[in-house]
Amino acid sequence: MSKNDIDDATVQPVDDGGTVGDGQQSTGEGQRPTGDGAPQFDTNVSYRERRSTPSVVEVRDLNVYYGDEQALENVEMTIPRQQVTAMIGPSGCGKSTFLRCLNRMNDLVEAARIEGEVLLEGTNLYGDDVDPVVLRRRIGMVFQQPNPFPKSIYDNVAFGLRVQNKTVTDEIIERALKRAALWDEVKDKLHRSALDLSGGQQQRLCIARAIAVDPDVILMDEPASALDPVATSKIEDLIEALAEDYTVVIVTHNMQQAARISDKTAVFLTGGELVEFDDTNKIFENPEHDRVEDYISGKFG
Ligand SMILES: Nc1ncnc2c1ncn2[C@@H]1O[C@H](COP(=O)(O)OP(=O)(O)OP(=O)(O)O)[C@@H](O)[C@H]1O
């Protein structure tokens, strides 16, 4: 399967009752024991109540290979709760591979082999008893190209809830659209096709769709790179606002964007090495590593 096939395979609704547009999947009520009854994530405690711990995702000794090629090498990272964490680095350094490891999207790539641990609230996502479908209900994803379904604006936002057999109310739809800073622009045309929206509006709709099911973490792979400067600016403002409620992890090619909107920045360099991970200000003003300084100052990449 090619890299592009991953997105294609996960953005369209399928009839297994699981996939929710932008890669979110669910089997119903979230993190209850599933399948053979193996306990998964603790769902009796809501994410809002679990905020007492500072980190939400811990990555330990992560190595990823595509066939013989190593794409990530011994990556260790602690992703803080309710902050924006940006991944930057030159093309091919493994940023998207890393992001996809956080919700097991790489499971869909036949050639990919993953070693190491990714802990969500202390549970290894790669544990034998973890259902990736349940996991993707907790970790949503927004892609580079806005990918609304050919349905109404309302039905796009409702999609994930319906897949999970959850109640859909006008209030829930309104709340998600407001949270995605789209409500004022669409409140009078909720039953019109989502495909009639502009690219920037479509991307905010995809964000509304992702947050309607109330995930813990939102992964974003270059969410503004297909948009014009005005639409990009709206998405950037929105990402900063979302971090009040959610943990956001974003891949961006745009260093200024990472500097503007993120709290933490991870710099990957060629060979899938995470060279530095720190507060964004530190990375951009006084990085520890010469290679990071060279990259930030545009000497390569
Ligand atoms: N499905 C795949 N099959 C084989 N190799 C892959 C696949 N996806 C990525 N790779 C390889 O893994 C390495 C890391 O790719 P990845 O897309 O994660 O990098 P990136 O930093 O996100 O790049 P870009 O900024 O260009 O999107 C590259 O060498 C790439 O060719």
* Digit-coded pLDDT (tens) for 162-182: 988 899 999 999 999 999 999
Q: Which is higher by pLDDT, 258 or 299?
A: 258
pLDDT for the residue 4: 38
Looking at residue 298, its pLDDT comes to 86
Residue whose pair of structure tokens reads 């390569």 in the numeric block: 300
Q: How many CA atoms lie within 13 A of 264 on its CB side?
A: 18
pLDDT band (50, 70, 90) for residue 39? very low
Q: Cβ of 144: how many Cβ atoms within 10 Å?
A: 17
Residue nearest to atom 2 of ligand 1 (CA): 3
Q: Which is nearest to 147 in space by CA: 245, 247, 6? A: 6
- The verdict on the CB of residue 95 being under 6 Å from ligand 1 is yes
Mean pLDDT of 262-286: 96
Note the ipTM here. Answer: 0.98
Task: Tell me the whole-structure pTM to 2 decimals.
Answer: 0.85
87 lines ligand 1 (CB under 6 A): no
More confident residue, 273 or 134: 273
CA distance 249 to 243: 10
Closest Cα partner for 144 from 182, 96, 112?
Answer: 96
Separation of 96 CA from ligand 1 center, angstroms? Answer: 7
The C-alpha atoms of residue 264 and residue 208 are separated, in whole angstroms, by 24
Find out whether 41 and 138 touch, Cβ atoms under 8 Å. yes
CB contact at 8 A, 255 and 296:
yes
Please write the tens of the pLDDT for every residue from 58-111: 999 999 999 999 999 999 999 999 999 999 999 999 999 999 999 999 988 999
Q: pLDDT grade, residue 23 (50/70/90)?
A: very low
Alpha helix segments (H runs only) across 56-152 = 95-101, 132-138
Structural domains of the chain sorted by starting position, each given as residue range(s) with its CATH number in brackets:
55-297 (3.40.50.300)
Q: What's the chain's average pLDDT?
A: 84
The pLDDT of residue 35: 36
pLDDT at residue 149 greater than cutoff 50? yes
Spatial CA neighbour of 215 closest among 131, 143, 120:
120
For residue 281, what is the enclosing H or E element? Answer: helix 280-285
Name the nearest CA neighbour of 254 among 239, 244, 243: 239
Of residues 47 and 235, more confidently modeled? 235
Phi and psi at 215, nearest 5°, equal -75, 170
271 close to ligand 1 (CB < 6 Angstrom): no
